[in-house]
Structure 1
Amino acid sequence: MKFLKYLTAFLFISTTVHFNASAQKDSVVLENIISKSKRLIDEHPPEKVYLHFDKPYYTVGDTIWFKAYVTMEQNIPSLLSKIVYIDVINSKDSLVQSIKIPAVNSVAAGNIPIVTPNFQQGNYTISLVASDQHSGVHTVSFNVTVNANYVPFISAIS
């Protein structure tokens, strides 16, 4: 019986020492991971792309006017990305149009004419990619609805 008590105490102490030793190793590895992550973020800060449209919906024949804003952490304008790539994708996941616009002082502005051969009534996804040679590629998608042609009602004033 005494032997069992000593064996249990020995196993408990050796297990505790083993776990404490491995916990020290984990903290060194964890500190290494944290320092490398901080260095990566400092060297290659992540960017966000925001898109602003002139209207909430469009009709065939309209023009989509937009402005893209490239920002960094805390919405500070980013001067890293020099080009914003814009893809217009239809509801069948087919590429309708692709354009490349320069970003000047973290702002890119342009337009997409909605012409009949390429555009029809339906939902479209506008995908933005701001890329530079330092921080990789960041993709953001927005949905745009294109309605059928309509004739506005004009009343005569007599």
Structure 2
Amino acid sequence: VDVQGKHALWDHIKAQQAQGKTFIISTNDMAEADYLCDRLLIIDRGTAVVTDTPENLKAALGRDIVTLRTTPIITDPLKLFAGLGVETADTPEPDLLRLELRHAEQIVGELVNRVAQAHQLESVRIARPTLDDVFLHHTGRALRE
């Protein structure tokens, strides 16, 4: 289905749902599931792993993703951000730092202040967990598997 056809189908399903109709949808497109489904069941290798609303599943992860693009590279992010609740830090690109933490909007100012002491901050972005993150978390699988 092309993009226009997909959205026409989604609109039709949403209109039918508004009239009280129920659909069982099987998809591996988490954006589609997030848009169309009131409840989700994630199945991995034939086993039901978790079920809930999309909102509850994303909220249960509790982590926000903060990406920082800096010059020079932050070589020891866990030390730089000690005490701020950073759970994980990785560098998916040479000048990009990806942090996982809870309640990022409450401490983003302090993150920026610490970076500014020795680095030039080119960009900062806060993202909430997606259903892709939920799937990967509950199945224990990585994107490369």
Fold match, TM over 0.5? no
| More strand, by proportion | 1
| More helix, by proportion | 2
Q: TM-score, normalised by structure 2?
A: 0.31
Q: TM-score, normalised by structure 1?
A: 0.29
